[in-house]
Structure 1
């Protein structure tokens, strides 16, 4: 697969879409890997979990603004639970034995050469 094969097209807004690693496991945001949701999740389940995640994130914001530590802990727990259910945290959703490199800088992972090649071509805009 060529280095450009995993670079995504810009969405209708004109903002650059995050890069996706060639194996589809991670997004690259500001040079850091973020695990993607498990692609084997049924679409309706994924939609429900994303909705739960967004609601929990809104709760985090409300709790922060209110200075409510108990509500903040509960909201952050909901965020974490939704991310685990989506496959973005917890055990990796792939089974080939590849390490989980979630939240690591691309430069210190097995994706470094791929990312460097994209950057040399001017495709790593983050």
Structure 2
């Protein structure tokens, strides 16, 4: 695997790519939750609600970790464990 397959560079900043081994339906569901959580972060910032901000940021973290974009580097983790992590993230976000 090359660095180009692991990292995405935007405006000179390196970001970890989504785990390519995850099924498309799992990725789509996690990205949907991620978008909703980011929207909740913006709303909490506007309203000054610190508790809502913490909850929303926690949801962003769970979604990003499920996608493999945070936490242990996905290329160092067994594929079965990565899929389990993604499905666990979906379960947490469904609550």
RMSD: 1.5
- TM (norm. structure 1) is 0.57
Shift of residue 27, structure 1, vs aligned partner: 0.7
Match of 1:48 among 24, 29, 36: 29
Q: Name the counterpart of 1:119.
A: none
Q: Is it true that 1:93 corresponds to 2:74 in the alignment?
A: yes
- TM (norm. structure 2) is 0.76
More displaced stretch, 69-78 vs 22-31: 22-31
Structure 2, unpaired ranges of 5+:
78-95
Match of 1:59 among 14, 31, 40: 40
Structure 1, unpaired ranges of 5+:
1-20, 97-126
Shift of residue 58, structure 1, vs aligned partner: 0.2
How many residue pairs get matched?
Answer: 76
1:1-126 aligned within 5 A:
22-95=3-76
Larger helix share, 1 or 2 = 2
Structure 1 stretches of at least 4 aligned residues deviating more than 2 Å after TM superposition = none
